[in-house]
Every structure is written in structure tokens, then in C-alpha cells.
Amino acid sequence: MSGAIQILHEPKNDEPFIVLSKEGGLASAPLDFSDQDNAFSQCAVFFPQIKKVRGKKEVEGGLLHRIDTATTGLLLIAASQEFYDFIIECQKQNRFIKGYSALCSIDFDNAKKSQGFPKALSFSKETLAGFEMSSFFRPYGKGKKQVRPVLPDSNSAALKKIGKDKVYSTKIISCKEYGDKAFIECKIAQGFRHQVRCHLAWLGFPVKNDFLYNYDFSLRQKEACSEPLSFAASSLEFPDMGSDKIFSFSLPKNSFPF
């Protein structure tokens, strides 16, 4: 197996959902029904009812969102169809909030060196907490393994490549600098593949050990570095299905890969 899971919330009659944390290197979802090396399939061993939920893909059951394979952190899985449908509607209303934490390099030339990014973002250290980045996204690079932000005033070639005509936003909650590194916390309501990692790289705070979006690390051979991606899906917030309560879950600090 590529990694393990830890169950933080087990399903109950009035709380039919599972919150789990997965290790970096473990996929969130199975590729097909024979694939067991992923967080969803590991969870289904203990809670088989999650496989009966009709989700976006039959093989993914009640999985409500994904995080990158390289990312350590929290996943929410529905244990009933009613809860799945409820959270999907909450997501459309921006009421399902995901938080991320990252140890980043400080390199304001990162986007320029990496190429394919829009113009540099303008901000001050005093206003960084609360700063919000918004963009469309397009696939980028060899094998389309990366993405790049696209703005309304980007060139026509970039605008033609956006997967969905939808704006995705990443909001910085806090930033603490430690020499040439920064610890950043941010939140999103809607998510696109690699959104937070790409937005941080665009801002000038590429995630440490990120071989896709941190230019200095991309110059090295990935296999030459055994350190994990310094990035974690660190919190989840969503409403209760039957009351005004807001559930809030945080990744235990000793689970952070940095």
C-alpha cells in the first residue's frame, strides 16, 4: 500500500459522514473497481455503505471531493445518499470550505521562471492576510500534468484552453515568514486540480518540494529528494444536515508532513 488512513469521524444516524486523513502518496479515489490502493477503498473496508452512495462516478461512491495524491490531509465521504446530495448542494452555495496549510519558498520570480503564468500579482505584506487570488484554469505542459491560471484579459489561445468557464478563488488566511520560507494558511470554496499549489506559485510562494510548481525544485530530479510535499489539506467546514450547526475538522498537527 502507498499510505494509510486515519478515521477522525465515524458515521452516525444523525451524522452520516466520515472524515478521514490520508498520508501523502496515497490516492483519494480508485481508478476502477479492482483498485484498492486509495483512501476511499481503505475506508470502505470499515464502512461498506459508502460504496452504495451514487456519486459523480460509480466507483467513487460517497466521496465528496478529492485531494492530490501527493497531498496529506482531510477527506469527507458521505455514508448516505441524503447527506451526499446535501453537501453537493452546499458546495454549489460555497458552504463547503476546505482549508490548506503549506510551507513555502519565497520567490517572487517563480511564476516568471516557470512560464505560462499571467502577469505577477500585486500585494503588500500588510494586506497579504485576506488577499484573494481568482482565475480560470487551463491544462499546461508536457502531458498536461500542470495547470496555469487564466484571466479574462489573457490571450485568446489561453482562453480557448480553459476547461470550464468558471472562476476559482484562493484566499490567504495567514502568512508567517521564517527567513527564506513562509508558513501559509488559505481556504477555498470551489476547487480545481492543483488550484492552491498553482495559485501560491503564481503569488510568489511556491510550496516546498513541489516539483510541478516550485521552479527551483523542478530543476532537480524528483527521485533525488525523499522529502514529502510540504502541503496539507488541513481543515474542513460544512453545515449540519438537520440544524444550524457548522461542523469543523482540523488535521492533527503531528500529521503535517513538514
Dump pLDDT digits (tens) for 173-216.
Answer: 999 999 999 999 999 999 999 999 999 999 999 999 999 999 99
How many angstroms separate the CA atoms of 24 and 91, rounded? 25
How many angstroms separate the CA atoms of 202 and 149, rounded? 8
For the record, the C-alpha cell of 247 comes out as 461542523
pLDDT tens digits for range 140-170: 998 999 999 999 989 888 888 886 679 999 9
Q: Give the per-residue pLDDT at 125.
A: 83
How many angstroms separate the CA atoms of 258 and 253, rounded? 10
Q: Give the per-residue pLDDT at 225.
A: 61
Average pLDDT over residues 130-135: 96
Residue 116 has pLDDT above 80, yes or no: yes
Q: How confident is the model at residue 58 (pLDDT cuts 50, 70, 90)?
A: very high
Residue with cell 444536515: 241
How many angstroms separate the CA atoms of 169 and 131, rounded? 10
Neighbours of 228 (CB within 10 A): 18
Residue 223 has pLDDT above 80, yes or no: no
How many angstroms separate the CA atoms of 125 and 183, rounded? 13
Average predicted confidence (pLDDT) for the chain: 94
Q: Give the per-residue pLDDT at 157.
A: 86
Helix, strand, coil shares of the chain, percent, nearest 5, are 25, 30, 45
For residue 98, the cross-strand partners are 188, 236
Q: How confident is the model at residue 224 (pLDDT cuts 50, 70, 90)?
A: low
Q: How confident is the model at residue 124 (pLDDT cuts 50, 70, 90)?
A: confident
Neighbours of 176 (CB within 10 A): 10
Helices (H), 60-194: 81-92, 110-114, 156-160
What are φ and ψ of residue 176, in 5° steps? Answer: -120, 120
Average pLDDT over residues 2-8: 91
